[in-house]
Structure 1
Amino acid sequence: MRTVRDDSGTVYLLLKESSDACRVRNPETGEESYRDSDELEPVSGESTLTTAARAVPEPARRVLTATPDERALGLLVDLRERGPHSVRHLLDDTDLCESDLLGLLTEFRAAGLVEETRVLGERGYATTDRADEGLARLTGEKSDQ
């Protein structure tokens, strides 16, 4: 399997190749089609596995790639369902130590999944629209987006 692109810039996974035609799959739609070999060019620098991951909607991919384990995912879900929360609340209400909590919140901020806010006059965190949409897609809920 290789990653290829057509003249319009659409990226495909090359599934099968013959001398004059190629069977390709659009990773975002799952649609398979045949294309002339001379209409496609290889995409360098992108793993075919990265291309295949495009089958998962971007907001859900963002949540998946930013959460290293179930505790981290649970923190994000809790912030979405019951948040925003103050840092003090998160330290008191979870089994995360301060450094683990700070590390996860930093990763989530870098991924655009949480934002700093004020909760009862204290520093706290809330999920972003991007996190809400990604979690909604993962749980099968309808998103407000």
Structure 2
Amino acid sequence: MNTVEDDTGKRYLLLKRSDSASLVRDPETGNECYIRNDRLEAVDEGSVLETAARSVPDPVLTLLTNVHDAETLGLLIELADRGPLGVRTLLDTYDCCESDLHGRLTILSAADLLEEAEVAGERGYRVTEDCETALETLRTETPGLDESPSDDP
């Protein structure tokens, strides 16, 4: 499977090519259609899997590719729900050594998921708008997280 681009710049996954047209799939919608070959051009940059990953909104993709464990995700959720929080509060409240916390904060800041903030006159962190968007998307896409058990049979 290859990645192709039509004459408008839209990227597709090439499924099948014939003499006059090619069957392509839109990675964002999953829709398949035929497009004339003279409107398509092969794309060399990125893999087919990267093209498929583009169906995920950018903020969510950034979160998924930079958060590698539940503790780091939990840190973002806590900062989204309670933040901004000072570094001392983070160290005192959560079971995390200073070097681990520093590493997480550095990676998340470099990915633009966190930004520095002043909290009570000291250095702290808050989630960015993109991080907030990604977390909201994940939370709304996961049914049952905020729901209490129903008494209905």
* TM-score above 0.5: yes
CA shift for structure 1 position 87: 0.5
Gaps of 5+ in 2: 142-153
Whichever residue aligns with residue 83 of structure 2, its letter is G
Superposed CA deviations along residues 67-123 of structure 1, whole A, max 9, x for unmatched, are 011111111111101111110111111122111111111111111111101111111
Q: Which residue of 1 aligns with 2:72?
A: 72
Gaps of 5+ in 1: none
Pairwise mapping of residues 1-145 of structure 1 onto structure 2 (< 5 A)?
1-140=1-140
Structure number, greater radius of gyration: 2
Count of residue pairs the alignment pairs up? 141
More divergent stretch after superposition (109-118 vs 19-28): 19-28
List, as ranges, runs of 4+ consecutive aligned residues in structure 1 with deviation greater than 6 Å.
none
CA shift for structure 1 position 30: 2.4
2: CA distance between counterparts of 1:34 and 1:76? 43
CA shift for structure 1 position 29: 2.6
1: CA distance between counterparts of 2:103 and 2:112? 14
CA shift for structure 1 position 38: 2.3
Whichever residue aligns with residue 47 of structure 2, its letter is S
2: CA distance between counterparts of 1:74 and 1:122? 22
2: CA distance between counterparts of 1:19 and 1:104? 52
1: CA distance between counterparts of 2:24 and 2:100? 43
2: CA distance between counterparts of 1:73 and 1:28? 25
Task: Give the secondary structure class of the aligned counterpart of 1:68.
Answer: coil
User: Normalising by structure 2, what TM-score?
Assistant: 0.87
